[in-house]
Chains A and B, each alone.
Chain A
């Protein structure tokens, strides 16, 4: 499993990523710490969502994975609360327009699941993207406006508080932007698209199928866990993830270049990009379940399609 081919690559990065005490405040090692955290977060999410067992899944395993996700989530929250608040005057409108320009290419292939440039090898930003719908209801001030992606720095920035005169169409557009948070540079986004097309296509094709097939099973799976344990915790993650995580995705571009964990273990669990569509389809049944009030699925598929058409048309 830890094949010789992957060994060297593995060792290179493993030292930096594993087993050492990396505090988030260290300079250069912060990036690797953050990367590792993101990797583990993604793996954990995949473990929870991709599971379609014939028998009941191990409660111990589920609990341990959930604890892992919670811990990372807590860390992200804490880091978020330490960041300086971003003032509107300093808001970079350039990157905003960049985001707009990037949006059409993102949706030029709405039908092909793998080629989603905003998913830089992780499902997290996409699922985080699903939150603004609910947060729009909960907290208009912060999230109804565009989350301008701050370039370069690995540190995350709180979303800028734009003047709230934007109408609902703009906020809908903003939501779409959030579905497709571009990286710091357009080149990186394009590069990510290309590499995701090439590298992940074969594994990501089965993945969306898997997700869709998983749909009828997943509600059963959810119900089978006592007390809807998995439903409530998983939607809890989705609602709690903030835009910080989307901005956080800036760093993920480099995930395409090396993959310390997945390269060694083969295709079984590639972190294939998953389109927002697939995630929505997978999670749509849950909207009928009685879940916590802040469920993230207010925006239904038809509305999303409509918005996409508008964007593609423009």
Chain B
């Protein structure tokens, strides 16, 4: 168990495909990559902890002179490319521009040049009496990051998602109204595959909120909307995928209807399961599991913080109702996780139907400490350690969480702190 302080608010967290690397992006446009230390036989208890591997400035603030508005450098999303050689690559994006970064290691350097001395100054040729072949000598590990591609000017609106295709050649980027398909090697053009912009902007009532490629079928992708619907699209069917192959929408529950029904139904995140059979969505109060074969309704619905249902007016007024929480699957698709307020995050075991609320805080994150389950009391009987709804801190929100692709290691971003929790005892949910 470890914690890390930061100077800026973390805006995205993402493990790479092996889980060896963990990337975070922040509001200041920086990317920090953590690497898991290999387990050492000498210290069997110190099972691979994450240390800083590299830090770099990915995006800078820009100014849109046409609109007289700033373009934030905040990193909205990071997605790792599958590793194809010794180097690692990732895509990072802010509101407008996507960048491809290559991360390489250098642990050797050549020594013994003929024309240059050790400091790199040119030698006086009259002193050179014999030729030598430069030799590679080990050096302290140096991690080098370089921008390989900049995919700019593809989006009029704010980019909310990027997703790498399973073909490893293309990726998509989605903004509020459009989704573009890019080739990783081509930066000067992209292909528009979804466009929901109405002819008359006055008629605009729905925006795209998240989007993801299917993990196995390179022709399928899903996008979610602010009205709570999911659209599965097949790129083979048409060039412009405005017409969905499948529409996933749950009819509104009339007993829960309120002024805020639409807003709380807006999907803030969508994630395919590792198996590719299910989708996980997060809206303001729930997480839902959808079966790709059933469009009528989700197969599972879990209440994240239903006690907020009676506070929606306040949460609308202070804008919390617009908070975009993410969700995550564990490696075996048996447990799902999402964040909440007061630095709480929730896990739901799909098999046992048990759920737990945990807190990411300094007190609970001492090394090898066991996280204590928390409980929010919404009235009625109150136990000793319960937190009452009215004392929840709505400024402490856990929007970004990530789960290691194979092991029970989770990364939790709590404002400007990153918490990494490992389950060392067993892989079972307690």
Q: Check if A136 is an interface residue, CB within 8 A of chain B.
A: no
- Using known A-B contacts A55-B69, A59-B158, determine if residue A18 contacts B207 with beta carbons closer than 8 Å: no
Residues B262 and A67 in contact, CB atoms below 8 Å apart? yes
In angstroms, Cα B391 to Cα A144, docked, is: 53
Residues of A within 8 A of B256 (CB): 19
Asked whether, in the complex, the Cβ of A64 is within 8 Å of the Cβ of B226, the reply is yes
CA distance A47 to B312 in the complex (A): 16
Q: In whole angstroms, how far apart are the Cα atoms of A10 and B294 in the complex? A: 41
B191 on the A face (CB < 8 A): no
Q: Which residue on chain A has the smallest CB distance to residue B226? A: A60
Which of B64, B310, B322 is the one whose CB lies under 8 Å from A15? B310
**Contact across chains for B226 and A236 when beta carbons are under 8 A apart:** no
Check if B390 sits within 8 Å of A220, measured CB to CB. Answer: no
Contact partner of B68 (CB less than 8 A), chosen from A18, A61, A224, is: A224
A229 contacts the other chain (CB 8 A): yes
Q: A interface, how many residues as a size bin?
A: 35 or more
B291 neighbours in A (Cβ, 8 Å): none
User: Chain A contacts of B156 at CB under 8 A?
Assistant: 226
Beta-carbon contact of A18 and B310 below 8 Å: yes
Inside 8 A of A3's CB, which chain B residues have their CB?
A: 390
- Asked if B258 contacts A58 (CB within 8 A), the reply is no
| A64 and B263 form a contact (CB under 8 A) | yes
Task: Say yes or no: A7-B390 contact (C-beta < 8 A), given A18-B258, A19-B258.
Answer: yes
Stretch at the interface among A185-193, A259-267, A295-303: A259-267
Top 4 nearest A-B pairs (CB, nearest first) are: A227-B201, A224-B67, A229-B201, A59-B176
Q: What's the Cα separation between A264 and B310 when bound, in Å?
A: 13
Binds A, one of B313-321, B330-338, B348-356, B416-424: B313-321
Question: Taking the complex as formed, is A223 at the interface, i.e. its CB lies under 8 A from any CB of chain B?
Answer: yes
A228 within 8 A of B: yes
A58-B158, A224-B68 in contact; A260/B313 too (CB < 8 A)?
yes
Determine whether the beta carbon of B202 is less than 8 Å from that of A268.
no
A14 and B310 in contact, given A7-B390, A56-B69, A58-B322 (Cβ under 8 angstroms)? yes
Q: Could you tell me the distance between the alpha carbons of A68 and B321 in the complex, rounded to whole angstroms?
A: 13
The contact sample of 17 A-B pairs, CB cut-off 8 A, is: A1-B318, A1-B395, A10-B314, A18-B258, A18-B312, A56-B158, A58-B322, A59-B176, A63-B207, A67-B205, A67-B262, A68-B263, A224-B68, A225-B201, A229-B201, A233-B202, A264-B314
Q: What string of 1s and 0s marks CB contacts (under 8 Å) between A1-29 and chain B?
A: 11110010010001101111100000000
Residues of B within 8 A of A53 (CB): 69
Q: Mark B298-323, 1 if CB is under 8 A from A, else 0.
A: 00000000000111111011111010
B-chain residues with CB within 8 Å of residue A260 when the two chains form the complex: 313-314
How many of chain B's residues have a CB under 8 angstroms from any CB in A?
A: 51
Q: Are A63 and B226 in contact (CB under 8 A)?
A: yes
Complex Cα–Cα for A91 and B160 (A): 56
Is A155 interfacial (CB-CB < 8 Å)? Answer: no
Give Cα A114–Cα B209 distance, bound, in whole angstroms. 40
Determine whether B254 belongs to the interface, using a CB cutoff of 8 Å to chain A. yes
Q: Is B343 an interface residue when CB atoms closer than 8 A count as contact?
A: no
Decide: A261 near B317, CB < 8 A? Known: A18-B258, A63-B226, A64-B322. Answer: yes
A residues with CB within 8 A of B: 1-4, 7, 10, 14-15, 17-21, 36-37, 39-40, 43, 47, 53-56, 58-61, 63-64, 66-68, 70-72, 220, 223-229, 232-233, 236, 260-262, 264-265, 268-269
> Which residues of chain B (383-402) have a CB below 8 Å from chain A?
389-395
List 6 other contacts, CB 8 Å, given A17-B313, A66-B205, A262-B317.
A14-B311, A54-B70, A56-B158, A227-B200, A229-B201, A261-B313
Is the pair B201, A224 in contact by a Cβ cutoff of 8 Å? no
- Whole-angstrom CA separation of A42 from B393 in the bound complex: 25
Q: Which residue of B lies closest to A2 (CB)?
A: B390
Cα of A264 to Cα of B209 in the assembled complex, Å: 30
Q: How far is the CB of B364 from chain A (nearest CB, A)?
A: 23
**B255 at interface by CB-CB < 8 Å:** yes
| Least CB separation from A8: chain B residue | B390
- Nearest CB in chain A: distance from B346 CB, A: 20
Bound: A39/B314 CA distance, A: 11
Q: Give A287 Cβ to nearest chain B Cβ, in Å.
A: 18
Neighbouring A residues of B176 by C-beta, 8 Å: 59-60
B206 within 8 A of partner (CB): yes
B71 within 8 A of A: yes
Nearest-neighbour CB distance to chain A for B300, whole angstroms, equals 23
Q: In the complex the two chains form, is A60's CB within 8 Å of B259's CB?
A: no
- Name, among A1, A39, A227, the residue most crowded by chain B CB atoms within 10 Å (CB to CB): A1
B316 A21 Cβ-Cβ under 8 A: no
Residue of B309, B311, B393, B395 most packed against chain A (CB within 10 A): B311
Does B266 lie at the interface of the complex (its beta carbon under 8 Å from any beta carbon of A)? yes
Q: Does B157 sit at the interface, judged by CB under 8 A?
A: yes
Contacts of B205 in A (CB 8 A): 63, 66-67, 70
Which residue from B254, B266, B319, B390 sits with its C-beta under 8 Å from A4?
A: B390
Q: Which of A4, A55, A63 contacts B391 (CB 8 A)?
A: A4
- Is the pair B322, A54 in contact by a Cβ cutoff of 8 Å? no
On whether A21 and B310 interact (CB within 8 A), knowing A227-B201, A229-B202, the answer reads no
Chain A residues with CB under 8 Å of B70's CB are 54-55
CA distance A269 to B226 in the complex (A): 25
Kindly identify which residue among A10, A63, A264 contacts B206, using a CB–CB cutoff of 8 Å.
A63
Of the candidates B67, B200, B201, B390, the one whose C-beta lies within 8 Å of that of A56 is B67
Do A37 and B207 touch across chains, with their CB atoms under 8 A apart? no
- Taking a contact as CB atoms under 8 Å apart, the answer to whether B314 and A2 are in contact is yes
Query: For residue B257, which residue of chain A has the nearest CB?
Result: A21
Residue interface bits B2-15, CB-to-A below 8 A is 1, else 0: 00000000000000
Best-buried of A2, A21, A268 by chain B (most CB within 10 Å): A2
Other-chain residue from B67, B259, B322 in contact with A61 (beta carbon distance below 8 A): B322
Contacts A2-B311, A56-B158; is A223 near B207 (CB within 8 Å)? Answer: no
- Chain A residues with CB below 8 A from B317, complex form: 43, 261-262, 265, 269
**CB within 8 Å of A: which of B122-181?**
156-158, 176-177
Cβ contacts under 8 Å, A72 to chain B: 259
Is B202 a contact partner of A232 (Cβ separation < 8 A)? Answer: yes
The distance from the CB of B254 to the nearest CB of chain A, in whole angstroms, is 7
Complexed CA–CA distance, A68 and B205 (Å): 10
Name the one of A17, A20, A64, A261 contacting B262, with C-beta atoms under 8 angstroms: A64
Q: How far is the CA of A233 from the CA of B157 in the complex (A)?
A: 19
In the bound complex, residues from chain A placing their C-beta under 8 Å from that of B49 are: none
